[in-house]
A and B are shown apart, each in its own frame.
Chain A
Amino acid sequence: MITIRELTAGYGKLEILQDLSLSFAERQFSAVLGPNGSGKSTLMKAIMNLNTVFGGSIHLRERELIGVPTEAISRLGIAYVPQRENIFDELTVLENLQLGARILPKHDRPTALKELQEIFPILGRRGAQQAVTLSGGEHQMLAIAIAWLSKPSIMLLDEPSAGLAPAIAIDVFRVLGELREQGMTLIVVEQNARRVLQYCDYAFVLREGMLVFQGTAEECLRDEETIKSYLGVH
């Protein structure tokens, strides 16, 4: 669904990803794993046109994404949940949700907001609250809800469980599992490899900007060598 060929990307003049080629399959939950600085977030940002691409191509089905303005990418059905600053913390929860739903046709917005209550029941009671006052888990749910409201076919998430208590992180992954059941393509960057491997279908492991492993979640879990040497998990 998203095909990346020989992508070299980074920030300013710094190249972080080197000639990376991989493709994310439709309706799959893919995880991008790797140690700090391996280029996982850089890959997400390159897809969203938020950093510098030096070469290569990124295709959404047949369409080239490089050069498409970030604002337009969400209209192509890709939603992105950044790791930090992923909500409008000075606005109320309801305003955040309204902004998330703004690219839907007007008559679809009330239904989407209603459906949201079922997937993210916790947010329903917080509408009037300023988003900055949410707890860590609620904050992350809001960030995912904003992305979900645009009814994307693909959702990119950068470390959705970072900084969350284990029980809450499991809640977040459970919601992601539900979204996958609904037919959404998920691409999740994670440091906590063992946890995400329990939920995802397929995994890519990056190291120093290059792809060093790819395979199903089971294959990845079975391959102790990959886990130990590239993910630092024992």
Chain B
Amino acid sequence: MGDNLPPALLTTSLVNTIQIGSLYALMALGITLTFSVMKLPNFAHAEYATAGAYAALIVSLSGVLNPLVIMIAAFVVGALSALISHLAVFKPLERRDVSFYTLILASFAVGLIIRYILFTMADYFNLFDLRIAIPLRVLFREGTLILSNLFAWVVPTSLVLVFILTLLLNRSPLGREMRALANNVNLARVIGIPVERVKNYTWLLVGGLAGVAGALWGLQTAVHPLMGWGAIISVFAAAILGGLSSFSGTILGAYVVAFSENTVILFLNVNYGVDLAYKPAIPFIIIIVVLLFRPQGLTKLIRRAGDLGR
């Protein structure tokens, strides 16, 4: 396809694919983990990312510019938002044995509540469309392609976190217990796994990762109360490509979605005059096509140890 796409544009779009894909992966892995362990497709997940981005923004505005401190703040705030939404809403609802659909609706409601808390806060302190104040430095420039220190932050951080998460799930006792819960929660109870505690840790982990994803996002675009929500469909598309159960499938799915949104749309635009405004339709198309023709996602194609089962 490169024949018709100017090389500079192609390279830029591929760089974007890697950058955005890595962020999608961080968020989508959280969705896959929540779905596997908690049996909940959590639409509030995007809001943990936004909360993390705001935490990062506020820390950076307060004058702390150490990226590590900023990321830790984002992790903590994302993790706490997730844990609180579990303890205040999802757990009491599960106790009442409500249906799966009620839980999905509740997750939309939780998302809405967090989003508008952030709106109110942003409005009060005038925190709209600001950037996390880490100074921008150009590391590499070649024609239209510019690689900044942000790229050097976003991609390795995402990849390292994905790697740590995979290691944690496959090699640690906690990860083993999470996979046991994902596989058979009744048996987990019977053999004495403290199910509620493992769930709490899972929420902290997925919320924290989303928070870091939000902060990394906020490094490259402006922070806004709607930023997480704007990405949720793409992130869900990635998780659905992973069959909502496979880690490797979700990671691959994240890059497939990012590739479609950055490179494929550009290719269609240059060759067939498809308007770039159709970009938001891409994840919807991916979701519909996957659910119609391959609802198990990419799982069976790349089945590996460490997948979360069912």
Contact = CB atoms under 8 A, between A and B. Distances in A.
Interface of A: 48, 50, 69-75, 79-80, 82, 85-92, 95, 98-100, 102-103, 130, 146-147, 150
Contact of A99 (B191, B307, B309): B191
Interface stretch (B12-20, B127-135, B173-181, B254-262): B173-181
B184 interface: yes
A48 B194 CA distance: 15
B308 interface: yes
30 contacts: A50-B189, A71-B192, A73-B192, A74-B192, A79-B191, A82-B187, A82-B190, A85-B186, A85-B187, A86-B187, A87-B187, A88-B179, A88-B183, A89-B309, A90-B182, A90-B307, A90-B309, A91-B183, A92-B305, A95-B179, A98-B173, A99-B176, A99-B180, A99-B188, A100-B191, A102-B173, A102-B177, A103-B191, A146-B191, A150-B192
B310 A80 contact: no
Contacts of A130: 305
Nearest to A80: B190
Given A91-B180, A102-B192, A147-B191, 5 more contacts: A48-B190, A70-B190, A71-B193, A87-B187, A150-B191
Q: Which size class do B's interface residues fall under?
A: 20 to 34
Interface in B217-263: none
A82 B186 contact: yes
A31 B188 CA distance: 25
A70 B176 contact: no
Contacts of A146: 191
Contact of A89 (B183, B190, B192): B183
Contact of B192 (A86, A95, A98, A103): A103
Contacts of B188: 99
B7 to A, nearest CB: 45
Most buried by B among A82, A85, A95: A95
Contact of B193 (A86, A87, A102): A102
A99 B198 CA distance: 13
A126 to B, nearest CB: 15
A50 B189 CA distance: 9
A211 to B, nearest CB: 25
A118 to B, nearest CB: 21
B193 A99 contact: yes
Contacts of B176: 91, 95, 98-99
A189 to B, nearest CB: 15
A74 B173 CA distance: 18
B147 interface: no
Contacts of A98: 173, 176
Nearest to B194: A71
Nearest to A74: B192
A231 B307 CA distance: 44
Interface string B153-191: 000000000000000000001001101101110111111
Contacts of B180: 88, 91, 95, 99
A14 to B, nearest CB: 15
A74 B216 CA distance: 44
B37 to A, nearest CB: 13
B195 interface: yes
A141 B81 CA distance: 43
A150 B190 CA distance: 11
Given A82-B190, A99-B176, A71 B195 contact: yes
Given A99-B177, A102-B173, A85 B184 contact: yes
Contacts of A89: 183-184, 309
